[in-house]
Structure 1
Amino acid sequence: MLNDKEFRAFQEGIFKIYFEKYIEFKRGKGEKVTRSTLIRLKTLNQELTLACDSLEISREVAEFILREREKESPASRGLRISDFRQFSAFLRSLGITSYEIPRKYMKKVYVPFRPYIFSEAELGSITRVADQLRQGIRSQTHRLVYPVIIRVLIGTGMRIGEVLSLKIQDVDMANQLLIVYKSKNNVSRYVPMSESLSATIAKYLSRIQNRNEPQQHLFISPYTGTGYSYDAMKYMFKKIFSIAGIRTPQGRLPRIHDIRHSFCTASLNRMLESGMNLYTAVPILAAYVGHVNLSDTERYIHLTEHGYSDFITKESRLGSLIPEVCDEN
């Protein structure tokens, strides 16, 4: 359910209840719904309230909302179109008539971005900080949970939403696997764990109260009685990064997702250093981290020291042999 503040943002309009259901649906899949996303959805709700007389989104209404706007950046427009397209598809899945956004609107927008890549020493530092959480931590549960969450992120490259969505039943200790159900792009997969991570998870399971309740979240917030929120993670990880003294070259604190970038980059480097070629390594890495499109994994190649220009040159000869997949986000 939305909290009181979030619910007030959608108090008016015939689509209000469907925005609430849509947000619950996204969170149920383990996707983060950030404050900026909520603001965009609130604006979309207001526009639909003014434009629609009934619970139906016509082509005319959709094209009016999707029109180009003065001084709007390509990135902002791309996010707005993506929000509308996904919400429209959600309505159709419920049997509500809503215009299907044509492909001409779904243009890829290039946004210059370079993630922060943690060194092994820095990853060790943030792990130690998590292990030593003492002052200012109101709950003993936090001191138990965060060291494990950090090790799962570092050791598997999973998305934070995937980690927070894990249930007790998703841990297969016999086969040293974590099971991810219907994550981004509706992909489910098995995530192998190392011996050390398996030992960490086993110890954690032995210490938590809900270990015999398979449907319960693996990591339960002591404040809500359910899984941790992404906002809670952002707050604590910023604190951990700050205590560890880790900042980007621009002076900002890294993002949680930068741990995933670091995992992918380090894994790709290790595979290449072992003698594996890029055309073998990239599909393996893509399957492990849950990418449905190889181009998602190719983003990590420029962060390695190996053969990027050679890969791009050879890839250009493939032409249409590799089908494109529309990015759901």
Structure 2
Amino acid sequence: MNKNYVYHSSLAPYIEVLICQKRADGFLYEYEAYILKTFDDFCIDKGFCEPVITRDLVMEWAIQRPTEGVNYRNQRVSFIRQLSLYMNSLGINSYIPRQTASTATTVPHILSADELKSLYQVVDSYLPDNEEWHRFSMEYQVILRLYYCCGLRLAEVCNLRVKDVNLDDGILKIIQSKGNKDRLVYMADDVTNLCRNYHKRMASLLPGSEWFFPGRVPRQPIRKTSMDKKFKQFWNMTPFADSCDKAPTIHALRHTFVVNRMNEWMLKGISLNTMMPYLSRYLGHSSVEDTFYYYHQVDKAFQIVRQKDFLSGRVIPEVVPYEE
């Protein structure tokens, strides 16, 4: 169920045929089609009428925009490089932009179902030695589930205030998150019930607390660094710790949420172009492009497509941007 954009520039015939060929070969080619649509609009806006891709056109397209990083700029150019290579294969002499290396990025570990199950078993069985800190066993259980089940950022979970957690309707109000944006995050029923039970117990221990997850000093929220350390401790207690090439960080839970959601949609044949704007807003991303980065980052992303995409190395761009 691919999104079929309509292209109108002088390069539209080549763009359309390239996309059709890729999809006929079994490639998803949704994100590429989206970027090629922005390139098509760019050509029209600039009054470009040539039947070939020129150096001047590529140089103007390659100018880094104020709102994007160098990796995303490089990715945009890499898609035009693919188009130019295709046109040259047809005997059409088009300018081919050079392949540009991206800056080093950290690709997150995506936890498997077995790894997640093992991790939460460790978390649920944990009890601090000091009885004074027994309440943290509850906090860890809820924080790490909110982080994964709602795809939240760590700071968003740790800094939740009681007044911003609507336990009646199952809604989290995220205030002044990354980019100074506010948003509402809807919880599943089982997650809402978990939060209700947790808050009832916590309110009896620390009545009147401002923070949904109080820290060691109850008038302050639990610290992000504490959760980072605790996640590493929990992970190292799982049977997967010794066999994992790259140990996950706590941020891997957010990435795992996104990749699993994408794969679920792929399995059901749901168009990503339809769903990605909703997912992007849910995650607090600035744009759909930020969320689409997962397509290029993670080996497990779009596993259904890659089962038949034995040439994925030729299709996935050389550039791999990264955004939390």
Compared CA separation, residues 171 and 202, structure 1 to 2 (3 A):
same
CA distance 1:299–1:249, shift in 2 (3 Å): farther
Query: Once structures 1 and 2 are overlaid, which stretch shifts more, 190-199 or 104-113?
Result: 104-113
Is 2:122 the partner of 1:129?
A: yes
TM-score, normalising length: structure 1? 0.58
User: Cα distance 1:251–1:131, how it changes in 2: closer, same or farther (>3 A)?
Assistant: same
Of 205, 214, 226, which aligns to 1:220?
A: 214
Residue correspondence of structure 1 range 122-161 to structure 2 within 5 A? 122-134=115-127, 136=129, 139-161=133-155
1:265 equivalenced with 2:259 (yes/no): yes
One-letter amino acid of the structure 2 residue matched with residue 304 of structure 1: F
Aligned mate of 1:242, from 216, 220, 236: 236
Q: Structure 2 residue aligned with 1:110, among 103, 106, 110? A: 103
Q: Flag the 1:105–1:132 CA change in 2: closer, same or farther, 3 A.
A: closer
- Among 156, 161, 171, which residue is 1:167 paired with? 161
Whole-angstrom distance in 1 between the partners of 2:268 and 2:66: 42
Separation (CA, whole Å) in 1 of partners of 2:244 and 2:171: 37
Asked if the contact 2:214–2:221 (Cα under 8 Å) also holds between the matched residues in 1, the reply is: yes
Percent identical: 24
Q: What whole-Å deviation, never above 9, does each CA across 1:236-291 have from its counterpart, x for those lacking one?
A: 11100111133497644310100000000001111222221121122121111111
Q: Match for residue 18 of structure 1?
A: none
Aligned-partner Cα distance in 2 for 1:106–1:289: 19
Tell me the distance in 2 between the aligned counterparts of 1:148 and 1:121. 19
Q: Check 1:287–1:104 CA distance in 2 against 1; reply closer, same or farther (3 A cut).
A: closer
- Higher normalized contact order (CA 8 Å, seq sep 6+, divided by chain length): 2
AA matched with 1:235: K
Q: Which residue of 2 aligns with 1:305?
A: 303
Task: Tell me: CA distance 1:280–1:212, structure 2 relative to 1, closer, same or farther (3 Å).
Answer: farther
Paired residue for 2:199, among 180, 197, 205?
A: 205
- Give the TM-score, by structure 2 length: 0.59
Would the alpha carbon gap of residues 125 and 293 (structure 1) be closer, same or farther in structure 2, given more than 3 Å must change?
same
The CA RMSD over aligned residues, in Å, is: 3.5
> 1:247 and 1:297, CA in 2 relative to 1: closer, same or farther beyond 3 A?
farther
Q: Is the 8 A contact 1:168 1:213 kept in 2?
A: no
Between Structure 1 and Structure 2, whose CA radius of gyration is higher?
2
How much does 1:209 deviate? 2.9
Long gaps (5+) in structure 2: 1-64, 72-101
Q: Check whether the contact 1:191–1:288 (CA below 8 A) recurs between aligned residues.
A: yes
Please tell me whether the aligned partners of residues 266 and 302 of structure 2 are also in contact (alpha carbons under 8 angstroms).
no
3-state SS of 2:279 partner: helix
